[in-house]
Structure 1
């Protein structure tokens, strides 16, 4: 599938493609369980950012627009003419949103935009008092990551692993820190927000701010858990995705 796009669970008979963007520091493996849960409901395709896993050693993306440009540049790998929906968690929600904007401007309207674990893009992401990641030491960045509880604690206690997992996190945090929201036309597609009820970065009210970005339908689903709540609710998330799509009768052969 090329450098940018992966497919774990193809579903050629599904009525809609789902393009998924991982969280900051994440890779396609973070979506393996989600891909398995939704296959058949959709035909999932996953975005692999540079600088991690099989793309280790490649330069990191520096801006959100770099990722969007690259993904649109390999469009033939994920857009086969079927309706396309977009899914992103945390940083991935921003990238999915900016991709949805670009597709809409081109006249290729997304079937739906699913934004998970992210406050509305018009709101600042960095917590009050937290320094930009450019100014943070490795120790400060690790403490910030611990606050989100999305990384195995064994990694933090293994000094030999820190040089492997920390650089992608730092690079992606910079993308988020330096993201500049631009006013623009509202999307026409449905926007579906998902958030954890104990997320330290995203209140329910902040998740509902996504409603400002569409003139289509909007819904917000509040699930139990912190910032990384998805894997605890995969059957429910798969149902949410199916309910929002134009072709709900699709099934795997």
Structure 2
């Protein structure tokens, strides 16, 4: 008999949208971390987190269409379409204390997806949401690039990241720019509710202390989007601070109290 894996328990939406990066080690999983990548990013952006996971904690990441193993699929270029699909995938996960982490665009997708989970499947809400590197949805969003190749490449250089020169390679640029463009088209068309609904889970907002695109005030703007506890925390670095301090960040995220008492 084939041993059961976490993927055996996922419904079709989960198998399509979620990638298991780190199965639980040391016994059956007792906690789960689900991560959502930035614009142009993919599930493997969180692959380095696996080695820092506590025992018996599994790590899933959302895989947006238009990249990696979903390269042949068109990007989802509306927040409504993206959030609906991610919400369905999250709601279909087997019951387990869960923390959700999103970086930059991933924070906005996470919020919108969880707002839908809260309305449709409230029992599937996570224990905590960590948002990172962006202001709350209702804040004015400035500085999005134009969608031509040159503007997108210039924007990635300003933001930094693990591979700042990757777009200089013509073949890689041709492969990667369509998903980046699709994600920024989604962000450009994003129209959040005038009064976004607060989530019934604690929220922690994280950022880099040298990220000029996400200030301390931007991080604090998330406070109104939770009926639970709220906290902010900054780390050394810019917009992609999380790539330089994975161990400390994973320790913080996975040390969040789990269980109904934490709400």
TM-score interval, normalised by the smaller of the two chains? 0.7 to 0.9
Does structure 2 conserve the Cα–Cα contact (< 8 Å) formed by 1:103 and 1:110?
no
Structure 1: how far apart are the matches of 2:64 and 2:197?
Answer: 28
* Count of matched residue positions in the alignment of Structure 1 and Structure 2: 241
Task: Tell whether 2:138 aligns with 1:125.
Answer: no
TM (norm. structure 2) is 0.84
Displacement of 1:54 in angstroms is 1.1
Question: Which residue is 1:95 aligned to?
Answer: 109
What is the CA-CA distance between 1:76 and the residue it aligns to?
6.9
Which runs of 5 or more structure 1 residues have no equivalent in the other structure?
Answer: 248-253
CA distance in 2, matches of 1:15, 1:27: 25
Residue 243 in 1 paired to residue 255 in 2? yes
Structure with more relative contact order (C-alpha pairs < 8 Å, separation 6 or more): 1
Match of 1:251 in 2: none
Quote the residue 1:164 is aligned against.
175
| Over 6 Å off, 4+ runs | none
Looking at structure 2, the residues matched to 138 and 177 of structure 1 have their Cα atoms a distance apart, in angstroms, of 16
Query: Is it true that 1:68 corresponds to 2:83 in the alignment?
Result: yes
Query: In terms of mean alpha carbon deviation, does 164-173 or 65-74 score higher?
Result: 65-74
Shift of 1:154: 3.0
CA deviation after TM superposition for structure 1 residue 224, in Å: 0.5
CA 1:52–1:202: 2 relative to 1, 3 Å: same
1:160 counterpart SS class: helix
* Higher alpha-carbon deviation: 51-60 or 39-48: 39-48
Alpha-carbon distance in 1 for matches of 2:79, 2:99: 19
RMSD of equivalent CA atoms: 2.0
**Structure 2: which 5+ runs fail to align?**
1-6, 8-14
- Partner SS, residue 189 of structure 1: coil
> Is the contact made by 1:16 and 1:245 (CA closer than 8 Å) also made in structure 2?
no
Separation in structure 2 between the aligned mates of residue 185 and residue 61 of structure 1, nearest angstrom: 23
Mapped to 1, the partners of 2:244 and 2:176 lie a distance apart of 23
Deviation at residue 94 of structure 1 after TM alignment: 0.5
1:176 aligned residue: 187
What residue number does 1:250 align with? none
1:1-253 aligned within 5 A = 1=7, 2-11=15-24, 13-40=28-55, 42-75=57-90, 79-106=93-120, 107-108=122-123, 109-127=125-143, 133=146, 136-150=147-161, 152-182=163-193, 183-246=195-258
Question: Which TM-score applies when normalising by structure 1?
Answer: 0.87
After TM superposition, give the deviation of residue 40 of structure 1 in Å. 3.0
Decide whether aligned partners of structure 1 residues 174 and 35 sit closer, same or farther in structure 2, where only a CA change above 3 A counts. farther
CA positional deviation for 1:42: 3.3
